[in-house]
Amino acid sequence: MEFELARAVVDELPGPHIRAHRGRMLYDHIRQWRPTRVLELGTARGGSAVFIAAALRANGAGRLTSVDSCRREWKEPSAQETLERVDLADLVVLDRSFSTYTWFLKVQLEQHLKKGGDPASAYDLIFLDGAKEWSVDGLAVVLAERLLAPGGWLVMDDLGWNFEKHSYGPRHYEVEVSGLSETERRTPHLRAVFDLLVKTNPAFARLIDEDGWWGWAQKKEAS
């Protein structure tokens, strides 16, 4: 599917969603690197899922698994409705089995280890755009790296986001903003995750800081 067709649908979504220029970055990355096993952590109304699935359709191969919390239901439209509108639902599995995507990752890791397989055979691309919280996303990137195939990419949105400037109200998902310390409110949690946990992880061979807002990390190729 052409990018502009996907953009037209995403631009009409209400509330916070991925912007077109970042959707273009994600779309172009998938067209270039051609991953076939893609995981998205944080679905919302399906905006980024549309860009990912559109690129997979254009490539002629691949599927997306998009994971969100069972505690939150997005409506008007739902992610399923958004994907159906552009005839991309057949390429996407929407998973809301657990309260957090970290538990989904835990189950994935368990399943691969129980089968005696290498966990790093699960996904070629993992896109993280969810909680924006150190305690959730710090664990998420540790687990994601274990499930990421050699040569695969971890992509993180919202490196510069913080609770003080960017949360939409007194509560951001499960977090009461007033209950955070001043440091926790002002510090960009995803920036800390990228700098302290991703950049320092020797499993990653290539790191890109995209305009202070997106972080890209490519896992080392198998030796």
Q: Which domains does the chain have, with CATH numbers?
A: 3-219 (3.40.50.150)
- For position 63, what pLDDT does the model report? 98
> Is the pLDDT assigned to residue 172 strictly greater than 90?
no
Rounded to an integer, the average pLDDT of 55-69 is: 98
Instruction: Report how far apart, in Å, the C-alpha atoms of 212 and of each of 161, 194, 195, 216 are.
Output: 10, 11, 11, 11
- Assign 86 a pLDDT band (cuts: 50, 70, 90): very high
CA gap 101, 117 in Å, rounded: 22
CA gap 20, 8 in Å, rounded: 9
- Assign 132 a pLDDT band (cuts: 50, 70, 90): very high
Residue whose C-alpha is closest to residue 100's, from 132, 67, 124:
67
* Burial (CB count within 10 angstroms: exposed 0-12, middle 13-18, buried 19+), residue 88: buried
- For position 222, what pLDDT does the model report? 85
Torsional class of 168: left (φ above 0), alpha (ψ -120 to 50), beta (otherwise)? alpha
- For position 171, what pLDDT does the model report? 84
- For position 67, what pLDDT does the model report? 98
> Is the pLDDT assigned to residue 118 strictly greater than 80?
no
Rounded to an integer, the average pLDDT of 181-202 is: 98
